[in-house]
Structure 1
Amino acid sequence: MEMKIKVEIIARETIKPSSPTPHHLKNYQLSFKDQVIPCGYVRVAFFYASSTLSSSGGDDEHEEKVHVISQRLKVSLSETLTHFYPLAGRFRDNLAVDCNDEGIEFFEARVINCSLSDVLERPKIEGMNPLAPIQPTDHYKAPLLLVQVNYFPCSGVAVSVSMCHKIADGVTLAAFMKGWSDIALGSPNTVVPDFSAALSRYPPRKDIPFRSFTINDTSQKVVPKRFVIEASKIAALKAKTTSVSVPQPTRVEAVTALVWKCAIAASKSRFGGSRSRRPYALMGAVNMRSRFVPPLPKYCFGNVIGAFWAMLDNDDGDYQESQETEDLASLVKRLRKGVEESSKGNKMGMKEDDMELFSQSSWCRFPIYQVDFGWGKPTWVSIIGMLGIVGTTLFDARDGEGVEIWLFLIEEDMALFEADKEFLDYASPNPSALYKQVVPPVDGSW
């Protein structure tokens, strides 16, 4: 039986900004993009296995290290909240956040049944939920940010962050983590959020209802699996996806095309070897900050995302068993076209119920492996949860060249996917997160 992580909460505290939010900033308006996002939480865990966290002198030394870690995180977090002040507020309605400095929830927990090396040797997505705070349900009273620091026996720490998606996207979360780690290190704070640019691009509307995140279809169980494509295999995959139209596909385009192609193949097998009566659609998120003319600030706060669509339609002349669905280069062309059209504001004209929908999001090139609180950069970074939606989330491997694939499929499709020879020619099923790694550089393009 698979071991499940067990934790004991040893402390809970409300962390408030180190200085009060000025009166003229008390009302933070949501943009239209914020308004339409359901109220759920994005949860990410940062695992640290640095030797500086080891305790060889017994319980007293371990408790002293825990105290030092706790104080550093809490003090720096309080200061960081002065720069990201809306996160310390509460939703007033679907138009604004009351920046009242009520603060965020900070939990500390002791892992009681496994070591950090146990977790990293064979990571299990579905077993990590105890490492993150329980997601709030009363969204008007709930904190917009929750942090849980997990102390492993003898050595190792996991810092998990849950940020309300309704107020911030993944780019904002990554910016917050960079700002927090800068302050924890005593370095100059290089992250200056912009709180008005998104609003100028996406003016709010008064007729948008406040929605909670729900899974529409609960009839089929969605299971998660983790795969990794190493740098050498990425190079071969990119070569296979090259075409005249896309002579230099990105890592994300190449990996996404491979995963989507294999997901379609699994779906076909489920339908007895023939395609679904509905078209296959891929929907992904696009960071729009750099795509506007002129571009928005790099640290523009909020949900500044567009959606791209790629479609294999039943009425499409290219939709043949031996053509588009079997050709990675053609799928990459469709992906590239979908992203380009998203920048023009083009939208999908179909309802989700009318298609076989596969979702995609990418955290590649986000500086998540630069989050150093004073005991080194993360050994590994992981999302937590996100079950129920068929699709994939991509992360950089720690070397900055490989790609981690977090895949979510219905149970029957996953079994077929795991046996797909083409996919396994590139991807390794759930390798150790303790493999030799080099922290990737940050190039500013994230």
Structure 2
Amino acid sequence: MSHKVADGSSITTFIKNWAKSTARDNIENVCPKIVGTTLFPPKDGVDGKSDLPPEENITPKRRFMASTEIKKEPQRRYMLCSPVNIRKIVDPPLADDSFGNIIGAAIISIDSSENDIKVEEGNYDHGLVNKLTRAISKINKDCVKKVQDGKLDLLVVWEGVDENTFKGELVNFVCTSYCGFPIYEADFGWGRPAWVSSGDIACKNTTIFMDTKNGNGIEAWVYLTEEDMAKFERDKELLTYASPTT
């Protein structure tokens, strides 16, 4: 799947409906409603090509996670990007099975010297969470309308990002969630899947959250370089809150 074509919601809905038509001879409501270009028509002079090469030596691991702490290091800034599903934000709201890359992006920056990465036991409502929550809340109907009217080029909200963000060493993270998507509802005739994974991706410092099959837990697929993964797996605080698996 390419994000030029679809987002996580689109692909999981497509697979579920594909299974319906294949295994159950049911053709009702299996055709995706392709609305991406209707909402955001392509702009002249933009070809959508990406010249970024795939990164090498990316190692995925699966974890049931509750919380962990970002390590602060001198002279570093951290930037976190979180995609946001806007199907219920646009006016009028879209159906869940609307097909396309129908997302915005909330991007926050954290200075390693700031006291906003601290996580205390039993209380996770600190600067990191607050910044991300504020950024996501700003991706609203007004923001979408500005993009549609050409007043904004991209459906992206920045929180805590300024000219100093790009000075010195910058570490980028991407965090996205498939939680709530019908990933375990695809039945091609031999039953629902025993386990669904996120597959390999070629982007380091990426975390993908997915529901467990019983719905009582969350798997976090963490993609790091082999060197960083080796350090990550030995982190004592992480092991306090998470159950690491391969």
TM-score interval, smaller chain:
0.7 to 0.9
Q: Would the aligned equivalents of 1:281 and 1:357 in 2 still touch at CA under 8 Å? A: yes
Count of aligned positions: 222
Amino acid at match of 1:200: T
Structure whose CA Rg is larger: 1
Deviation at 1:338, TM superposition (A): 2.0
Could you say which residue in structure 1 is the equivalent of 2:214? 399
2:134 maps to 1:295? no
Could you say which residue in structure 1 is the equivalent of 2:37? 199
Out of 314, 326, 345, the position equivalent to 2:118 is 326
| Alpha-carbon distance in structure 1 between the residues aligned to 2:43 and 2:5 | 16
2:226 maps to 1:430? no
**Structure 2 unmatched ranges of 5 or more:** 144-154
Out of 133, 157, 177, the position equivalent to 2:15 is 177
Out of 53, 60, 64, the position equivalent to 1:228 is 64
| Alpha-carbon distance in structure 2 between the residues aligned to 1:213 and 1:181 | 34
| Alpha-carbon distance in structure 2 between the residues aligned to 1:172 and 1:373 | 18
Q: Would the aligned equivalents of 1:282 and 1:359 in 2 still touch at CA under 8 Å? A: yes
TM (normalized to structure 2)? Answer: 0.79
Could you say which residue in structure 2 is the equivalent of 1:308? 106
202 and 210 in structure 1: CA distance in 2 versus 1, 3 angstrom threshold:
closer
Deviation at 1:314, TM superposition (A): 5.6
Note the 1:225-264 alignment, pairs <5 A: 225-229=61-65, 237=66, 258-259=67-68, 261=69, 264=70
Could you say which residue in structure 1 is the equivalent of 2:25? 186
Deviation at 1:313, TM superposition (A): 2.8
Q: Would the aligned equivalents of 2:81 and 2:108 in 1 still touch at CA under 8 Å? A: yes
Q: Would the aligned equivalents of 1:191 and 1:299 in 2 still touch at CA under 8 Å? A: no
Could you say which residue in structure 2 is the equivalent of 1:366? 181
Deviation at 1:353, TM superposition (A): 6.0
Hey, which of these two has a bigger chunk of helix by percent?
Answer: 1
Q: Would the aligned equivalents of 1:394 and 1:405 in 2 still touch at CA under 8 Å? A: yes
| Alpha-carbon distance in structure 2 between the residues aligned to 1:276 and 1:215 | 29
| Alpha-carbon distance in structure 2 between the residues aligned to 1:357 and 1:342 | 21
Deviation at 1:190, TM superposition (A): 3.2
Q: Would the aligned equivalents of 1:182 and 1:190 in 2 still touch at CA under 8 Å? A: no
Question: Identity over the aligned pairs, expressed in percent?
Answer: 35
Structure with the larger RCO, 1 or 2 (CA within 8 Å, 6+ apart) = 2
Could you say which residue in structure 2 is the equivalent of 1:347? 157
**Structure 1 unmatched ranges of 5 or more:** 1-162, 230-236, 238-257, 269-274, 432-446
TM (normalized to structure 1)? Answer: 0.45
Q: Would the aligned equivalents of 1:215 and 1:388 in 2 still touch at CA under 8 Å? A: no
393 and 278 in structure 1: CA distance in 2 versus 1, 3 angstrom threshold:
same
415 and 214 in structure 1: CA distance in 2 versus 1, 3 angstrom threshold:
same
| Alpha-carbon distance in structure 1 between the residues aligned to 2:26 and 2:54 | 45
Amino acid at match of 2:202: L
Q: Would the aligned equivalents of 1:286 and 1:306 in 2 still touch at CA under 8 Å? A: yes
